[in-house]
Amino acid sequence: MEIKDIECLLEGILFAAGDPVSQERLCKTLKLDQKTVDTAAKHLSEQYKLEHRGIRLLKLEGTYQLCSAPEYAECIRQILNRNKPPRLSSAALEVASIVAYYQPVTRAYIDQFRGVDSAYTINLLLERGMIVEDGRLAVPGRPILYRTTNAFLRVFGLSSLEELPELPQNGEESNH
Amino acid sequence: MEIKDIECLLEGILFAAGDPVSQERLCKTLKLDQKTVDTAAKHLSEQYKLEHRGIRLLKLEGTYQLCSAPEYAECIRQILNRNKPPRLSSAALEVASIVAYYQPVTRAYIDQFRGVDSAYTINLLLERGMIVEDGRLAVPGRPILYRTTNAFLRVFGLSSLEELPELPQNGEESNH
Amino acid sequence: MIRLDAPIFHLKKVVKSSREPLQDFTGPLDLILHLLEKNKIEIQDISVSFILDQYLAYLQKRQQMDLEIASEFVAMAAHLIYIKTKMLLNAAHQGPPSEMEELVRSLEQRRQGEAFGKLKETANLLGENYNQGVNCIVKPPEPPKSAAPLSLKHCPEDLDKAMAQLFSRMVQRTPPPMCIFEQIVPQDPYPVETKADELLSRLVQSGPSSLSALFRGSQSRTELVAAFLALLELIRMRRIRLEEGKGGYAVRLASSLKKQKNITPNIENFS
């Protein structure tokens, strides 16, 4: 097999895999030595870059993986996103509101406020960077406190927390 | 944007998407007319074939999708430890054809056409993503309607339903 | 998983014509339908046990199976048993047309259906395409590179609305009036402390007792619960001992307390 053929085959394999494929496995199945596989991979990778192609070949800890070219990331995101900009679920909105108005708050406080377990939603907001952990409350169990982030402000088009709309009138006073 | 750039971007988008991406969405997000996108896609597709690359570009009924080059399929399956999908039984072929030619159709229609109960085969095709439910017929009982998918086109090597081989003449007219 | 190609089924005993080549059918049901259609066999001749034997042998041979093939077999076996059962039942009672008759009739209709014949031809054409098409392997979507908090878009009023909704839910959640529960919990719970007193004085007066006897005479569920809790607490406080005997458990006063009179248990708020 010529090096060019190996490159094409490698491309096909890595494409179909999506995930990283180990060098070892490639060598074993294709019955090629490591150097040949590596040369083909390197060549393929350089070609992608040189020609500004839409895909890139990554070599990470003895594995190869194809991924989309980072310079197209924004465009790709736009296309693959649903037509309308994604919105938070109503559960996430509720949790975000509680944190925004009463921060810093504990998970127990949020749970009590909503009357349902909010662990999953809190994690989701943490992952999205809309809330962060902010110390612990000085009570037994030392529960984590949460507050909103700048990303939260950005999503809601606010420039500071002072711009939060006023709370509906029948808002009860409450403690942590 | 030059046509070459569009090709590369298209490659990146289709790689990241994995699933078919509609021409319409591509045009809208890239702010390009259909002709330009189609030219880029065609050119990219030809290049893949010409250079015996490991990937191929498919056009499936108004959508584009990347797939691996069929000539490498066996090798790819070996490396990724995947089984070749089992052959379609003649029953599955029959049901798929009935849906393809007469879609959207109900199960009762398929049963009547074949003269046997086709529930099992319909489920098999649903599971394999070759047909999908597509609304319900406005008659008592509101039976589910089925139609073929892009995956159907792909596995049967068609780029649109218009490419289905013509049925031999004097075929009977039929209703659902 | 072991890679399996569709197994070949031999139906030698039921195939009337030996000229019909045994094809590699993808499923046994397919084969049977094919043969029925060509009048090569009659449904009455199909020996269900014969096919089942082959099926079971096949199962034994393959510890790990391709589930798809296996499920086809199960479906086939179930279908055949159903047909056979209907046949046997119908032989005894001349009832409505049997599944077998219906199947045969539908097969005849099928033979007559010209449209279907044509479609089958085309289906075979497509089948050849299929063997090429399945070699186009597609990939799953790439996971998004970064979370997309920036692309989320909300207006501040969404927060306002969410809070309003929360407050309205909170109002609904104010505890229901006690009168609702009066029917369900007609009396106050039996105090554990009182029960402990009762149990101790009973043991002092009448000596050791069987465990179950201590629960006897309880008037309500809460009294039973109180008795149970009181027993646990008294054991914990080493006032009484639970001993395993021949007829079950016996409860006696702890020896150190036997001689004392008028014991008042000092059980703190655990009711």
Reported as a single tens digit per residue, the pLDDT across A2-19 is 888 899 999 999 999 888
Inter-chain contact A94–C166, Cβ cutoff 8 Å?
yes
Q: With 0-12 CB in 10 A as exposed, 13-18 as middle and 19+ as buried, what is C252?
A: middle
Looking at the DSSP bridge assignments, the partners of residue B59 are B64
Cβ of residue C216 closer than 8 Å to a chain A Cβ: no
Inter-chain contact A114–C152, Cβ cutoff 8 Å?
no
Closest C-alpha among A174, A175, A95, A88 to residue A131: A95
The distance of Cα A6 from the centroid of its chain, to the nearest Å, equals 34
Q: For C215-241, what is each residue's pLDDT tens digit? A: 888 888 888 888 888 988 888 888 888
Touching C (3+ Cβ pairs <8 A), the chains are A, B
What are the CB-based long-range contacts (under 8 Å, 24+) for B152-155?
Answer: B152/B96, B152/B100, B153/B60, B153/B61, B154/B58, B154/B60, B154/B65, B154/B67, B154/C133, B154/C136, B154/C138, B155/B130, B155/C129, B155/C130, B155/C133, B155/C134, B155/C136
| Contact list, A80 vs chain B (CB under 8 Å) | 13, 16-17, 21
Q: Does the structure show a pLDDT above 70 at B63?
A: yes
What ipTM, to 2 d.p.? 0.64
Q: What is the pLDDT, as a whole number, of residue C218?
A: 83
Instruction: Considering only the beta carbons, identify the residue of B5, B15, B72 that sits closest to A55.
Output: B15
| Contact list, C145 vs chain A (CB under 8 Å) | 70, 73, 77
Cβ of residue A18 closer than 8 Å to a chain B Cβ: yes
Q: How many angstroms separate the CA of residue C87 from the nearest CA in chain A?
A: 50
Mutate to test the interface with C, among B90, B112, B126, B159 (most CBs of C within 10 A): B90
Looking at the DSSP bridge assignments, the partners of residue B67 are B56
SS3 of C46, please?
Answer: coil
Q: For A89-132, what is each residue's pLDDT tens digit? A: 888 899 999 999 998 999 999 988 888 888 888 998 998 889 99
Q: Does the structure show a pLDDT above 80 at C268?
A: no
Residues 48-77 of B with CB under 8 A from A: 51-55, 66, 68-69, 72, 75-76
CA nearest to A96 within chain C: C159
Cβ of residue C134 closer than 8 Å to a chain A Cβ: no
Q: What is the pLDDT, as a whole number, of residue C2?
A: 32
Inter-chain contact B52–A79, Cβ cutoff 8 Å?
no
CA distance B54 to B83: 19
Q: Span B58-82, mean pLDDT? A: 89
Mean confidence (pLDDT) of chain C: 67
Q: What is the pLDDT, as a whole number, of residue C15?
A: 41
Which amino acid belongs to residue B63?
T
pTM: 0.50
CA distance C261 to C194: 18
Mutate to test the interface with B, among A3, A5, A8 (most CBs of B within 10 A): A8
Cβ of residue C153 closer than 8 Å to a chain A Cβ: yes
Q: With 0-12 CB in 10 A as exposed, 13-18 as middle and 19+ as buried, what is C57?
A: exposed
